[in-house]
């Protein structure tokens, strides 16, 4: 046995805790598997990409999305934990939005799934509220000086998703083709949607 302050290998801690909880009838293997599968396969940035592609091709949907993100996103069937109230932020040629949670890792699960590791990293969380232009540059996004940056720190249950600008030269793209251009990074605001 180890003392209470000694670091326990996380994989071993999980096994120990899971075994105690299973013994007490508090979790079961099937539930665990279902949860993991859901967030590995069904709930992820492909949902948000569909929302963005629809907003790019349907002006009325875009208006509804910007007026009431939660309702417009639910029209496509996306709702659930960490999506009680979603606000959609529209990037334009002159305003660029970027989202963070400095206190933990709040993130709009129904449209983006679970947050990527960089979003949860102290380097991103600490710096993007202090030097966002420099942080975006490190990520490979060099914005013109004339672009105004808005950083949103997710400090309540409101969740934010960025509506990126539609890339030029995509006039003939179908909605499905457009969705393929929309990345998770663009919907957090650390990248732009682009033709690969």
Chain positions 15 to 44 lying near another protein, rule: CB under 8 A, are 15-21, 24, 26-27, 31-32, 35-36, 39-40, 44
Chain positions 71 to 130 lying near another protein, rule: CB under 8 A, are 81, 84-85, 102-105, 113-114, 116-118, 120-130
DSSP secondary structure code for residue 147 in this structure: S
| Structure-block tokens of residue 139 | 């990520």
**Least gap, CB of 171 to another protein (angstroms):** 27
Nearest CB to another protein, comparing residues 57 and 133: 133
C-alpha distance across the termini of the chain, in Å:
53
Nearest CB to another protein, comparing residues 10 and 169: 10
Tell me if 162 sits within 8 A of 189, measured CB to CB: yes
**Least gap, CB of 75 to another protein (angstroms):** 19
For another protein, the binding residue among 69, 132, 164, 189 (CB under 8 A) is 132
Q: One symbol per residue from 40 to 69: x for binding another protein (CB under 8 A), - otherwise; what is it?
A: x---x-------------------------
Residue 166 CA to residue 155 CA, distance in Å, equals 29
Residue 105 CA to residue 99 CA, distance in Å, equals 11
Mark the segment that binds another protein (CB under 8 A) among 2-10, 49-57, 61-69, 170-178. 2-10
String of b and e for 154-174 (b: at least 16 CB within 10 Å)?
Answer: beeeebbbbbbbbbeebeebe
């Amino acid at each position: 046995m180890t003392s209470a302050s000694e670091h326990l290998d996380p994989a071993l801690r999980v096994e120990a805790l899971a075994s105690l909880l299973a013994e007490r009838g508090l979790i079961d293997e099937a539930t665990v598997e279902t949860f993991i599968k859901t967030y590995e396969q069904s709930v992820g940035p492909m949902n948000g990409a569909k929302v963005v592609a629809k907003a790019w091709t349907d002006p009325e949907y875009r208006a509804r999305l910007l007026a009431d993100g939660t309702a417009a996103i639910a029209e496509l069937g996306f709702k659930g934990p960490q999506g009680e109230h979603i606000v959609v932020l529209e990037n334009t040629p002159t305003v660029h939005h970027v989202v963070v949670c400095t206190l933990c890792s709040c993130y709009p699960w129904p449209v983006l799934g679970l947050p990527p590791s960089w979003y949860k990293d102290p380097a991103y969380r600490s710096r993007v509220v202090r030097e966002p232009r420099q942080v975006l540059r490190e990520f490979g996004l060099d914005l013109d000086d004339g672009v105004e940056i808005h950083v949103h720190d997710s400090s309540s249950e409101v969740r934010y998703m960025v509506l990126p600008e539609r890339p030029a030269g995509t006039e003939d793209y179908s909605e499905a083709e457009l969705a393929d251009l929309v990345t998770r990074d663009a919907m957090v605001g650390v990248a732009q949607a682009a033709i690969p």
